[in-house]
């Protein structure tokens, strides 16, 4: 096997508590985003874009998140508000992937959404290939317009995910994965059957 196959067979999301500095350099970030942009894109719609969030931006957004949470949960404890405030500074780098679909005669909306998901996953894989840990998160604030408008997300756009990237302080063990026979079948001359060994 080659290194790409080995990476794909062993890739694992790193829990956010295990992501620390250093983060990718500016040059590495540009490489990550270039890789994430090389995904299938029927009709060349480019139905995604990226917002790079460093520690200062994560702290600023954290204040907005905490304030929105306090508005919605007036009984929230100070400790809980501090947790909410820290959601986007758990890793030294966060990249928001914005799904930005538009009308196109050849590219249905669903294909454009899938392309944004592919860009997000390519970002995760590229970060792993560079030796960093990564975690694709989409928490409540990803759906809250009070927060995502601050990132320039328009009313017709959505967050595909926040990809948290940093140096893994430890590598987590693998988790159970689905059995191939439970998720894959073969379609042949006789219709659907179990996947051949």
Angle at 151 between CA 72 and CA 18, to 5 degrees: 80
Could you read off the pLDDT of 130-151 as tens digits, one per residue? Answer: 999 999 999 999 999 999 999 9
Q: Is the pLDDT of residue 1 over 90?
A: no
Nearest alpha-carbon partner for 100 in 33, 161, 158: 158
pLDDT for 138: 93
Could you read off the pLDDT of 78-113 as tens digits, one per residue? Answer: 999 999 999 999 999 999 999 999 999 989 999 999
Backbone torsions φ then ψ of 48, nearest 5 degrees:
-160, 160
44 or 197, which is more confident? Answer: 44
The average pLDDT across 146-165 equals 97
* DSSP-derived secondary structure for 120-139: HHHHHHHHHHTT-EEEEE--
Q: Is the pLDDT of residue 41 over 80?
A: yes
How many helices and strands (H and E) does the chain possess?
Answer: 7, 7
Residue length, the chain?
A: 197
Q: Is the pLDDT of residue 187 over 90?
A: yes
The average pLDDT across 162-177 equals 94
Asked if 161 contacts 125 with a C-beta cutoff of 8 angstroms, the reply is no
pLDDT for 171: 87
Domains present along the chain, CATH in parentheses: 11-169 (3.40.109.10)
pLDDT for 197: 81
Asked if 193 contacts 39 with a C-beta cutoff of 8 angstroms, the reply is no
Backbone torsions φ then ψ of 162, nearest 5 degrees:
-105, 120
Distance CA 11, CA 175 (A): 11
The model's confidence at residue 172, banded by pLDDT at 50, 70 and 90, is confident
Q: Which three-class secondary structure state does DSSP give residue 162?
A: strand
- The first and second tokens of residue 154, run together, are 């328009």
Could you read off the pLDDT of 116-135 as tens digits, one per residue? Answer: 999 999 999 999 999 999 99
């Amino acid at each position: 096997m080659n290194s790409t196959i080995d990476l794909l067979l062993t890739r694992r999301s790193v829990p956010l508590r295990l992501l620390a500095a250093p983060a990718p350099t500016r040059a590495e970030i540009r490489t990550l985003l270039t890789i994430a942009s090389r995904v299938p894109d029927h009709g060349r719609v480019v139905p995604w874009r990226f917002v790079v969030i460093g520690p200062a931006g994560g702290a600023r957004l954290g204040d907005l998140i905490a304030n929105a949470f306090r508005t919605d949960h007036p009984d929230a404890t100070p400790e809980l508000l501090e947790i909410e405030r820290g959601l986007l500074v758990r890793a030294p780098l966060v990249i928001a992937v914005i799904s930005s679909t538009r009308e196109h005669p050849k590219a249905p909306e669903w294909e454009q959404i899938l392309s944004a998901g592919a860009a997000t996953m390519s970002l995760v894989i590229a970060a792993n290939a560079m030796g960093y840990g990564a975690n694709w998160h989409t928490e409540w604030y990803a759906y809250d317009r009070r927060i995502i408008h601050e990132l320039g997300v328009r009313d017709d756009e959505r967050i595909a995910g926040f990809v948290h990237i940093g140096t893994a302080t430890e590598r987590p063990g693998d988790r159970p994965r689905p059995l191939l026979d439970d998720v894959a079948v073969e379609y042949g001359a006789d219709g659907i059957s179990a996947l051949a060994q």
